[in-house]
Amino acid sequence: MKKTFIEPTRLIVSALMLMAAAACGPGQQSSSVGANSATSLAWPRPDPATLADSPHKQEVLYGEALVRRTYALVGPRVANAAMRYSGNNLACGSCHLDGGRQRYALSLIGAADAYPRNMARENSVQTLEQRINGCFERSMNGRALPTGSREMTAIVAYIRFLSDAAPAGLEGRGAPAVHLLQRAADPGRGAAVYSARCAVCHGANGQGARSADGSGYTYPPLWGEDSFNDGAGMHRIITAANFIRANMPYGTTFESPVLTEEEAFDVAAYINTQPRPHRSGLDRDYPDRGRKPVDAPFPPYADHFSQREHTFGPWTSMQQGQPPR
Ligand code: HEC
Ligand code: HEC
């Protein structure tokens, strides 16, 4: 039997949350996604278990395990200190939901075909391996896997396997863009959203809940020392709001968001004003300042808007590069 890694309690709480949300009324259903004709194509659910037995299958399965149970294989508590690449006990799958297979939940389906590509953060062409290491160093608050290592090769093989299942032009990576607010995102209002909608799983203190065996998390932390660092994509309020609106509370999909757009921005602002690990040298990101995303929460900037304005918005009047994709 294939292990799903999602504990039943999680599903029950999700179902209750969704029922509660539905009972509260329709809410705002606007989404920029429906406009895209590519969404009518079927979304694949590639499963490595279906591959014929071969060394390739073993490699793809190891890659899947690294994505779903990162903490157990290369996390900060693994026995072999040389294998501690991730600095926190998250999994890649904490954000790339269902091991990167869920549409608009930062899906990795299609990602293999999107690289190498020219990225704003480095202002240079980046390989898939470099992009993966961007998440190791920031989202996982750890260090880069060596290119050519068994682990990097396996993660790439898994993402390639996922991507081979997608017809060309199928969209579903990232998360749908929420309309930018005309006001600044408000962490105070976000605190109320957090208590009402998030704390039941992620905890009032944001530290989530460990899984029964104490290795990873049933509900991952959203801030604190075991969370993503301040250089991560999730630490940008627009990026976080897009992800949260389409995917949280857990069980939500982009087709029927539970939070309003305002709630998504405010709760993202709340989460991202809590303490978390600091990454040094952020001023060297986006060396071409004109390509810096408007919501990059750290200076320097090419324009006269303050760090506070860039962090919280309103972003609509800023002339800098829009967030990538
Ligand atoms: C805290 C959340 C988080 C975690 C944990 C995380 N990522 Fe990411 N990842 C992101 C975000 C946000 C993006 C940017 C998505 C976008 O550009 O829309 C991203 C982008 C990526 C991309 C590029 C995808 C694309 O569509 O271009 C890859 C590949 C990737 N991550 C791999 C990984 C791997 C492998 C791990 C585990 C080692 C990991 N990520 C852990 C949040 C996370
Ligand atoms: C029903 C439980 C539940 C609720 C309610 C919930 N989440 Fe989550 N959340 C999860 C789970 C589970 C994951 C990780 C998914 C995985 O590991 O497969 C997650 C992952 C996340 C992540 C990415 C991982 C990380 O640690 O940063 C963010 C951000 C997040 N949730 C924000 C929120 C916000 C904001 C709310 C409230 C609007 C919320 N969640 C409500 C269960 C929940």
CA of 250 to the centre of ligand 2 (A): 6
| Mean pLDDT, residues 100-125 | 97
| Mean pLDDT, residues 257-285 | 98
Which residues 6+ apart lie within 8 Å of 69 measured at CB?
5, 91, 215, 216
Residue 259 clears pLDDT 90, i.e. is over it: yes
Residue 324 clears pLDDT 60, i.e. is over it: no
User: CA nearest 87: which of 102, 98, 71?
Assistant: 71
Q: What is the pLDDT of residue 32?
A: 37
Residue 320 clears pLDDT 90, i.e. is over it: no
CA atoms in the 13 A half-sphere facing the CB of 45: 3
Pocket lining: 202 vs ligand 2, CB cutoff 6 Å: yes
Among protein residues, the one whose CA lies closest to atom 6 of ligand 2: 249
| Mean pLDDT, residues 102-108 | 98
Give CA–CA dist 214/26, Å, rounded: 38
Instruction: Supply the mean pLDDT for the chain.
Output: 89
Query: The tokens 């709480």 sit on which residue?
Result: 13
Q: What is the pLDDT of residues 125-135, one digit of tens each?
A: 999 999 999 99
Residue 10 clears pLDDT 60, i.e. is over it: no
Question: Can you spell out the DSSP letters for 7-58?
Answer: -HHHHHHHHHHHHHHHHT-------SGGG-GGGGSPPP---GGGSPSSHHHH
Residue 99 clears pLDDT 90, i.e. is over it: yes
User: CA nearest 264: which of 14, 12, 28, 10?
Assistant: 28
> Residue 119, SS3?
strand
CA of 118 to the centre of ligand 2 (A): 30
Q: What is the pLDDT of residue 85?
A: 98
Pocket lining: 73 vs ligand 2, CB cutoff 6 Å: no
Among protein residues, the one whose CA lies closest to atom 37 of ligand 1: 92
Among protein residues, the one whose CA lies closest to atom 27 of ligand 2: 222
CATH tag for 1-290 (out of 1.10.760.10, 3.40.50.880, 3.10.20.30, 2.40.40.20): 1.10.760.10
CA distances (Å), origin 273, targets 96, 159, 204: 22, 32, 15
Higher pLDDT, 125 or 168: 125
Strand 217-219 with 117-119, pairing: unpaired
Element (H, E) at 217: strand 217-219
Q: Are 247 and 254 in contact (CB under 8 A)?
A: yes
Among protein residues, the one whose CA lies closest to atom 39 of ligand 1: 92
Higher pLDDT, 33 or 321: 321
Proportion of the chain above pLDDT 70, given as a percent? 86
Pocket lining: 159 vs ligand 2, CB cutoff 6 Å: no
Amino acid found at 140: M
Q: What is the pLDDT of residue 169?
A: 86
What are the structural domain ranges in the chain? Answer: 1-290
Q: What is the pLDDT of residue 317?
A: 87
Residue 37's pLDDT band, with cuts at 50, 70 and 90, is very low
CA of 133 to the centre of ligand 1 (A): 9
